[in-house]
Amino acid sequence: MIYIYIALILLAAFPLLLTIWRMRRTARIKKLGIHCNGTITSIRSIRIKNTYIDSLTIEYRDRRTGQPFQAKATTNRGKYNRGDPMGIAYLPDQPSKYALTDTKGGFTFMLVFCIIIFLFVIFAVYKIDEMVK
């Protein structure tokens, strides 16, 4: 039974750890990366249930080689237009690894949600163990 408890806890910890890893990666790129302006090259509107969001394609260039790279982002519909500049930071040795600098990151809601799920699973495992004994 202990293996099932451990598996449940690890399953609940996975999204939490993934979110923390993504937050740290984004912070590292913003801190150590080269900051530049990218240009929005295309906007595609996507309908999700009753809401529309825009999927942006952003082009930026590596300062060292001049090679163009593409970044992707999603945002509220109508917030940006084609040709608008958007701040991007990328790693000098890996220009394809990027982070948007004009946004807050959007990780706060996901982090809180993952913590709540993790705590719920811990409580559920405790209660199931209490009920089995």
Q: What is the rounded distance in angstroms from the CA atom of residue 113 to the CA atom of residue 94?
A: 31
Say if residues 74 and 53 touch (Cβ distance below 8 Å). Answer: yes
Q: How confident is the model at residue 102 (pLDDT cuts 50, 70, 90)?
A: confident
> Could you tell me the two tokens for 91?
């790693």
Say if residues 2 and 53 touch (Cβ distance below 8 Å). Answer: no
Q: What pLDDT is stored for residue 37 in this prediction?
A: 93
85: enclosing H helix or E strand: strand 85-90
Say if residues 13 and 114 touch (Cβ distance below 8 Å). Answer: no
The yes-or-no verdict on residue 105 having pLDDT over 70 is: no
Mean pLDDT over 35-56 rounds to 93
Considering the chain, what is the average pLDDT of its residues? 93
Say if residues 88 and 35 touch (Cβ distance below 8 Å). Answer: yes
Question: Taking each helix axis from N to C terminus, what angle separates 108-132 and 2-32, rounded to the nearest 10 degrees?
Answer: 170
